[in-house]
Structure 1
């Protein structure tokens, strides 16, 4: 009795398989109910034929393991499963619904195959394993493409939002600055204008961080324009600015008169503002925020920012520089005030890396939390212009 390969079975029964899969797809609400039969079957036929062709090819043990993990070889063109993921995303499918389609497609093939083999027909049992591996590969490709497109659309939204916020924020800064300088308004209005100005500047800083975040996630990296600059002077300017914004806080700076290095002054100021701002946000109000700039005996500059407050839990230290990670202390009465989007520390690390440096953090109850930035004294970093 001749063996019937699963590949041939799929090709011969593709319409029955697609109908069973289509019946399931119509149970996925809401998007499937708005699509016609052609749209529902969009790439399932191509995926099934690709699986059948794969089953006809010889396979080594290494190729089998890679495929079962979704790491099988592929060419540079988009696969049917990747195109399918893009179409489903545009149709409003969630990732859960997308995965359920593959489960239904797998079930449709195996149910029909099982019914066929029960009729005492000889088959190749290894085909079922090969089939599952091929479906796993297609599923991995589909999920990866879906996730990539979702992240891309999110980053595009954030970039557009941040860009469009710049103009109205600029108007608030200019208007409040004009009111602050006026001599013919009551003091209470001047105070309100000062608060508006400080808040708008803070929002502007957050918008800039958001733009940088989306830029790095689009793969462009953190651009810097490294030139000979005085890091000590930049540090003093940032500290004076933050003292103006936070007159109630003790912000102490220890730095030499001058520390010349190859730096992007604007980016270094942004990094320091983020680190010191973070220390102010999470430090205890009645304790100082201490900044030190030291040129060591080698070729490095070390900048430390220390504050005293609740220690960062050990399980959160490793991810503190990850984007969109909040390090607020849950359970504290002011936890709502001590949270943020978590972009500032991520941007600070990107700036340090762009200068060829690194940033580290240690935290404990006795010595507080200290961020340490190490920068090369004479190198502008990998993204220097």
Structure 2
């Protein structure tokens, strides 16, 4: 039985917990399909804890700033998971969607306020209690949705990592088989041509899978690992440029660099960065306009600049260029490269550069075109702070780089 007479909302919640939970449970059972297979304890799992938390919150004094933060779902919290966060995890594992999760909070809010209004019929409405209660529910809802989204992203990234890893073996068989056929001398040329196309397509697929695995590494671990050793950075740069010239014979790629430039870096990873940047410049540059690659260095740092002339990138869009699944705007018709790209190239390039302790800057204007500038320390351990406007977002950058660096075997 609900108690009658004047009563504060916090006391009402604690003294009438069971009727409130029953009203909420009746609603929860209408959510299909998961709720139909859940027992009473599972349906009520964390609602009781949340109601107790709401009651404690109503009894705790708060400042206007705390009230404002809580109304936007940014209330102060401890180090342990809240009941709302644990509730979100349980609901996700039970098969709930976020669309089914949110109405539970609306039902919990309605259950409390409707029951309280019934026992206070004819009495004055305590508006501050109602406001505080709504703020607490909003905070719990924000925590639940945030945890739900975090777990969904983690599951998606794990799926992508497993998928990318498992695709490598069958793809390796395709590459090996097509390579074997290409070397044959006792079959018609048309089969050699078909094998060559299979081989080239497999190589593109392999690059896509490598990008996918690198992307998931940045979300599931400390970042992209790099194994550094002393090597000639200029030689690596020239090798990448020569490979791209072969792949794009119609495109002029000019390069200026010293004959020898020693640095300590991961050759394969920096080659990947240069390939992504120069390939990006070719893809989005104006047809017929040259792409230029230049390298300079001082005693501490090496700088590589990749420039092309094409559509100007607005300043407010530059930071977004390094986000995953984002491509630069291009007014030209879609190309094969665009259709087979995941939009991860610049994101991965930045992650690799940051893992070396460096940063990437971008400048784009109508006079000089678009220039991506990579600055790398020549010695490990000399980590550079990202420059303003470099595309690094707050909290990102070289400070997290040392964890990914290890000496080469």
Asked whether the two chains share a fold, i.e. TM above 0.5, the reply is yes
Give, in whole Å, the separation in 2 of the partners of 1:32 and 1:335: 48
Which aligned pairs between 1:1-385 and structure 2 lie closer than 5 A? 4-120=7-123, 125-295=127-297, 297=298, 299-329=300-330, 332-334=332-334, 338=338, 340-380=341-381, 381=383, 382-383=401-402, 384-385=405-406
- Give the Å deviation of 1:214: 0.9
- Give the Å deviation of 1:124: 5.0
Task: Provide Cα deviations, 1:181-212, integer angstroms capped at 9, x if missing partner.
Answer: 33333333333333322222222222122111
- Give the Å deviation of 1:350: 0.7
Give me the TM-score of the superposition, normalised by structure 2. Answer: 0.84
Secondary structure at the residue paired with 1:249? Answer: coil
User: Is contact 1:328–1:335 with CA below 8 Å preserved after alignment?
Assistant: no
**Cα gap change, 1:149 to 1:192, in 2 (>3 Å):** same
Aligned residues: 382
Task: Provide Cα deviations, 1:299-338, integer angstroms capped at 9, x if missing partner.
Answer: 32221222333333555322000112233437x5427863
Q: Which runs of 5+ in 1 are unaligned?
A: none
Stretch deviating more after TM superposition (25-34 or 105-114): 25-34
Give me the TM-score of the superposition, normalised by structure 1. Answer: 0.89
Q: Which runs of 5+ in 2 are unaligned?
A: 384-400
User: Is contact 1:328–1:338 with CA below 8 Å preserved after alignment?
Assistant: no
Give, in whole Å, the separation in 1 of the partners of 2:221 and 2:71: 29
Give, in whole Å, the separation in 2 of the partners of 1:265 and 1:328: 30
User: Is contact 2:208–2:342 with CA below 8 Å preserved after alignment?
Assistant: no
**Cα gap change, 1:281 to 1:85, in 2 (>3 Å):** same
**Cα gap change, 1:190 to 1:284, in 2 (>3 Å):** farther
- Give the Å deviation of 1:273: 1.4
Secondary structure at the residue paired with 1:226? Answer: strand
What root-mean-square deviation, in Å, do the aligned CA atoms of Structure 1 and Structure 2 show?
Answer: 2.7
**Cα gap change, 1:356 to 1:152, in 2 (>3 Å):** same
Give, in whole Å, the separation in 1 of the partners of 2:210 and 2:378: 26
Secondary structure at the residue paired with 1:274? Answer: helix
User: Is contact 2:5–2:120 with CA below 8 Å preserved after alignment?
Assistant: no
